[in-house]
Amino acid sequence: MDVNVKVENFKSAAVDALVIGVFEGEESTRSGIVQTADEALEGAIRRLVDLGDFEGKHKQTAILYTNEEVAAPRLAVVGLGKSDVFDAEKAREAAGEIACKLRDLGAKTIGIPTPSDAPPEMIQAATEGSLLALYQFNQHKTEGLDDIKELDAITFLVSDEAGRSSQEDAAALGSAIAHGTMLARDLSNQPGNKLTPTILAEKAQSVADSTGLKCEILDLADLKEQGFGTLLAVAQGSEEEPRFIALDYVPEGEERETVVFVGKGITFDTGGISLKPGKGMEEMKHDMSGAAAVLGAMQVIGNVKPDVRVVGLIAATENMPSGTAIKPGDVVTSYSGKTVEIINTDAEGRLVLADALGYAARYEPQAVIDLATLTGAVIVALGNLTAGMMGTSQDLMDRLQAAGEKTHERVWQLPLWDDYDEQIKSNTADVKNIGDGTAGTIAGAVFLKKFAEGYPWVHLDIAGTAWDMKGSSYVPKTASGYGVRLLVQLAQDWESKS
Ligand code: BES
Ligand code: MN
Ligand code: ZN
């Protein structure tokens, strides 16, 4: 779908529907575009409000049918809520709500009358909200395809040239960010048999090819040669080969600081020999959502080109039970040389991340952030609305917190005091891969901390936010694409401390 900006009087725009945002409160119909539209429709908006059928409450909608003064057959009003609490998130939600409503009515093209001084952040937010709300995943359906409705274009209609170029940039940015997020959703929604580690690596290569990123893919032989012992341990039970993917965005000009994103890419998690129960196991096709967020973010970064070097690392494998699978009690050696006693083969995410975090040190980065659907415990602690955050750098956590507020992909910090280190002490090896059963999310982070040495590091446990993230107009019940917008915002806002 196309999002663009056009200089055109909205009354003459040949679109299937116009959309006008209206704040709560009487006076909001008496100025600006709402007033102009109301006059064109001979007071129809005022009558709607006076009757009490529409109050401008956030996400409230109403459709009006126009007269000959307006070319578009429909004019939709969408509530923006109280003007003093309006922000980018409210704009995303309102845009998503009305875009879906109009799509369901059969509209193909939407025009949004836009004042020439409209803040670019709001254009970006409306673009993100509508594209993300319109997202559907129908790749594996062969029936009912004729009933699927889609919008073709959304156009911001501005009355004069002033501000046009910044508005075009904002729409393009919002569109790039939404497409990165939708890429992450598509990958995460893909069943395990359609997205193997090999296929994930091919996708990464094609993202790199289309955005000019460098891409290096390590196959089974490379991983053996380079000593990716904990990734290989998880992979050894599977017929599918593992892959390690490194994407690299290097800004032009002088050398910049380096930020590394690391994603857990378990394309299916059965639990291995510590097999998961059958009920709901199909959801473990999403267990590569950290990898999906990293790949989605790298696509956006390749397009928007921030002033910081960004590396995306993905450790991809299946976790399967078989005659060749790792067993509880096995000891394996990680990339960094530390040994791990595997107590539970279902704690596989931290194993594949251990190697990736060890590998990350070669970039001598100023920040490393890993995203992983690591523990069910984070859903118990925080639910589905926020990721659990733990790390060794308060500065980096503060930056993520700020990026989370802006994007509404929020994070919430949990403690990572040294006292918790007891949890992963092993009698046999340097560490064991699970704790004592309490504070499961923290225990996972304590394990990762052992391998995230030599750089500032933050771990985001996205098991709650990667899917089932209920309650928002533009986030579906299945894969959310959580993390793409957060990581892109962090990269865009990156300012070196040195
Ligand atoms: N992929 C799961 C975590 C998960 C659970 C994500 C539910 C989303 C929803 C992870 O590999 C896992 O199995 N974690 C175990 C850790 C335990 C064995 C220490 C868990 O959470 O039970
Ligand atoms: Mn598991
Ligand atoms: Zn897992």
Cα-Cα-Cα-Cα dihedral of 295, 296, 299, 304, to 10°?
-130
Instruction: Tell whether ligand 1 has an atom less than 6 A from the beta carbon of residue 440.
Output: yes
Q: What is the pLDDT of residue 122?
A: 97
pLDDT at 470 over 90: no
Q: How is residue 168 written in tokens?
A: 């075009």
DSSP string, 74-94: EEEEEEEE-GGG--HHHHHHH
Q: With a cut of 90, say whether residue 196 has pLDDT above it.
A: yes
Q: What is the pLDDT of residue 497?
A: 65
If you average pLDDT over residues 385-411, what whole number do you get?
98
How many Cβ atoms from other residues are within 10 Å of residue 307's Cβ?
15
Please state the atom number of ligand 1 nearest to the C-alpha of residue 467: 8
- Catalytic residue, from 264, 285, 309, 350: name it: 350
Q: Is 276 assigned a catalytic role?
A: yes
DSSP label at residue 471? S
Mean pLDDT computed over 423-429:
98
For residue 475, which amino acid is it?
A: V
At residue 492, the pLDDT reads 97
Q: What is the pLDDT of residues 287-321, one digit of tens each?
A: 999 999 999 999 999 999 999 999 999 999 999 99
- Ion ligand 2 neighbours, Cβ < 5 Å: 269, 346, 348
> Domain coordinates of the chain in residue numbers?
2-177, 190-497
3-class SS at 154? strand
What pLDDT is attached to residue 107?
A: 98
What would the pLDDT profile of 213-223 be if each residue is shown by its tens digit?
Answer: 999 999 999 99
Q: Is any atom of ligand 1 closer than 6 Å to the C-beta of 347?
A: yes
DSSP class of residue 255?
A: -
Q: What φ, ψ does residue 391 adopt, rounded to 5°?
A: -175, 180
pLDDT tens per residue across span 342-377: 999 999 999 999 999 999 999 999 999 999 999 999
Q: Where does residue 67 rank: exposed (0-12), middle (13-18), buried (19+ CB within 10 A)? A: exposed
Question: What H or E segment, with its residue span, contains residue 98?
Answer: helix 88-105
Which one of the ligands is nearest to 283 CA?
1
Condensed to tens digits (0 to 9), the pLDDT of residues 15-70 reads: 999 999 999 997 888 889 999 999 999 999 999 999 999 999 999 999 999 999 99
CB 346 near ligand 1, within 6 Å: yes
Which residues face 146 on adjacent strands? none
Q: Is 434 touching ligand 1 by the criterion CB < 6 Å?
A: yes
Mean pLDDT of the chain: 97
CA of 270 to the centre of ligand 3 (A): 8
Catalytic annotation present for 350: yes
| pLDDT tens, position by position, 105-152 | 999 999 999 998 999 999 999 999 999 999 999 999 999 999 999 999
What's phi and psi for 248, nearest 5 deg? Answer: -140, 120
**Closest atom, ligand 1, to C-alpha of 271:** 13
Residues 324-351 pLDDT 10s: 999 999 999 999 999 999 999 999 999 9
Spell out the alpha helix ranges (H) of 236-332. 289-304
Q: CA–CA distance from 192 to each of 139, 237, 353, 382, 475 (Å)? A: 14, 15, 20, 27, 22
> What digits encode the pLDDT tens for the residues 220-267?
999 999 999 999 999 999 999 999 999 999 999 999 999 999 999 999
Question: Best substitution site from 269, 320, 375 to test ligand 1's pocket, by max atoms within 8 Å of Cβ?
Answer: 375
> Which residue bears the tokens 């394309």?
267
CA distance readout (Å), 474 to 127, 224, 295, 496: 11, 43, 20, 33
Catalytic residue among 82, 149, 276, 305, which?
276
Report the CATH architecture of 2-177.
3-Layer(aba) Sandwich (3.40)
Phi, psi of 461, deg, nearest 5: -90, 110
Residue 498: pLDDT band (50, 70, 90) is low
Q: Give the model's confidence band at 471: pLDDT under 50 very low, under 70 low, under 90 confident, else very high.
A: low
The CATH number assigned to the domain with range 190-497 reads 3.40.630.10
In the prediction, which pLDDT does 30 show? 87
